[in-house]
Chain A
């Protein structure tokens, strides 16, 4: 039988044992708890071609975790499929925040899917990295939102300004603008018309066409009748193909010096492979190309790992346009967390506003609404394409950077017909 003193000791030891996890364990558990990064990706639906971005997220997560995590905590991705529908976005982000307790959010792809989440993050004062939403924060002006895409300030109007800078340098006075009647292309055409006006260019032809248009012969004839010296096209993949093939069939005036601008499609392996040499001469926007001014060991390492995964998953094997910037989004989040030594949205945002961040896409500094301080949208000219082999696009010289001047790797080959024939 135990004495009263022994009994008291036993009670004290038991109580201390029971209380120990609560006293010491909470800190240990908090450190063990992973940092959760939440995102929605369009795995299905019309924007499913952007799902290769998820590989960028996953490579970043693996790299960070292999290096010991952030603030000694592992990084965990929580990703849901928004089915390319804005209607699904509010519930998904509420789930990410209110149920999954994510510390950092990545936005859905593009402006239309990101728009529903902007009031939500502003009301809740959350930290978010935006994924390719053109002018995504221009309305909300949330101070904890940062773009991973290189659109730059005033992107609604200026993101394709490089095309007009090139046209101006070529002495272009008359320009034609056509666009698909859809969100991105309509904004691009509207911004393009404003920049053309600013540069004193006459817009001789400005027409939008319904989505799913497949025959552009009459439009190309009408453009030719306007006698422009440059043609700015804002199109989606299917129409980009139809326009390129229409030009091959109908022909275009020898006066045209620049052709392209904001065509979605020639950035992706599928279209580069299917159109091949027909793309020669095209001047188009891009975010990354394997030219000497952009190649770094870091981005080369990224693509060395991206390609086998993409091939295995059956997505774009080149992946130049989107995936690197999904990796960049992770790097921005990592810099904000480690720089501020916190997952507090205000501290992370303050760090990114105050510091430039080194990423695989270069050094990035942000303005007050989270745009890159400097626009870094590329205008590239496709050249020397022979056959339909995709591997040639991994080599320099086929997507020559004309703009911005800091990354330039060649001069414009003009007129378009001559460049096309070469």
Chain B
């Protein structure tokens, strides 16, 4: 195993250990409510980046996958009483299938047309949910989650730990994609799809794989949400804010590596959580907008690229 992989593995073990230990060390539940949202966005940003960052296909439909995961999990739990880990697994599988279906329908178009098509996915799924009374329709659906297991002190702490595991798994998946042949192929697609195709890169197959993996991660991010809010309704589950954050966070952090979305999500989601309970939300949104514009204008490669470049310059 390479040194970088060993370091990554050590980081994974430390984060997972913290995820399981923190609920016993930190007594105030608020930090777990807020931490859950931050980790949820780490997962969403990471999932989005597999297609949007590595392959360069800007997907506005992140909320569609997230909402699908939310509703599938809520339905499976309330109807069949499935435990949360199985709900997450089911959401990831359905998200992957949805990703492949979306890919088949939309990947032959590029640029702004692809972005608009993915936005359509959100509207379609939200309309479907609105009209299924079994999912609560517009009225929403109450989800009273089960008691947390004995190894977790409370529901909010349990949701937090589950989200730590999902976030770590998503980041590990994204890193594997990045350093594997899939990542190399996707980078070729992003650089020049025609040139990649001419060089023998199976572009459509690679993009479909990226769609499936991205969809799986985004849907898995949504699976614990019903247990976090105890209530799901379509407007929030398919909120445009989720789609916008999914794009803004990797753009701010950097889209070329797995580190970028993690940094962007940790930074932006933390600021949003703090701003919600300190300054007004108008200023919060203004701040996000200003940061996004600043990064697009002055550091289009994001934070990870900014530091990477500076480090490179410093070398003799």
Contacts and interface: CB of A to CB of B under 8 A. Distances in A.
Interface of A: 43-44, 46, 80-81, 83, 85-92, 94-95, 97-99, 111-112, 115-116, 118-120, 123, 139, 181-183, 186-187, 210
Nearest to A190: B139
A80 B140 contact: no
Interface stretch (B30-38, B104-112, B207-215): B30-38
Residue from B131, B229, B235 with most neighbouring chain A CB atoms (10 Å) = B229
B138 A83 contact: no
A87 B281 contact: no
Interface in B136-167: 137-140, 142, 144-145, 155-156
A43 B277 CA distance: 13
B229 A86 contact: yes
Given A85-B239, A112-B233, A139-B142, A99 B30 contact: yes
B228 interface: yes
What does DSSP make chain B's interface, helix, strand, loop or mixed? Answer: helix
Interface of B: 28-30, 33-34, 36-37, 127, 130-131, 137-140, 142, 144-145, 155-156, 225, 228-231, 233, 235-236, 239, 241, 273, 276-277, 280-282, 285
Contacts of B37: 87, 91
B239 A115 contact: no
B202 to A, nearest CB: 39
Contacts of B225: 87
Contact of A89 (B29, B34, B229): B229
A118 B230 contact: yes
B30 A43 contact: no
Contacts of A115: 140, 142, 229-231, 233
B276 A92 contact: yes
B236 A87 contact: yes
A116 B231 contact: yes
Contacts of B138: 181-183, 186
What does DSSP make chain A's interface, helix, strand, loop or mixed? Answer: helix
B281 A43 contact: yes
B137 to A, nearest CB: 6
Contacts of A183: 138-140, 233
B28 A98 contact: yes
Nearest to A180: B138
Given A81-B281, A116-B231, A183-B139, A94 B276 contact: no
Contacts of A46: 235
Given A115-B229, A115-B231, A182-B138, 15 more contacts: A43-B282, A44-B280, A44-B285, A81-B280, A85-B239, A89-B229, A91-B36, A92-B276, A94-B29, A94-B33, A95-B30, A98-B29, A112-B236, A115-B142, A115-B230
**Which 3 pairs from chain A and chain B are nearest by CB?**
A115-B231, A91-B33, A119-B230
A56 B179 CA distance: 58
A87 B224 CA distance: 12
B231 A187 contact: no
Contact of B276 (A81, A97, A210): A81
Contact of B231 (A43, A86, A99, A181): A86
A112 B236 CA distance: 10
Contacts of A44: 280-282, 285
Contacts of A112: 140, 231, 233, 235-236
20 contacts: A43-B280, A43-B281, A44-B282, A44-B285, A83-B281, A85-B236, A87-B225, A88-B276, A90-B229, A91-B34, A98-B29, A111-B139, A112-B231, A112-B235, A115-B142, A118-B231, A119-B144, A123-B155, A181-B138, A186-B139
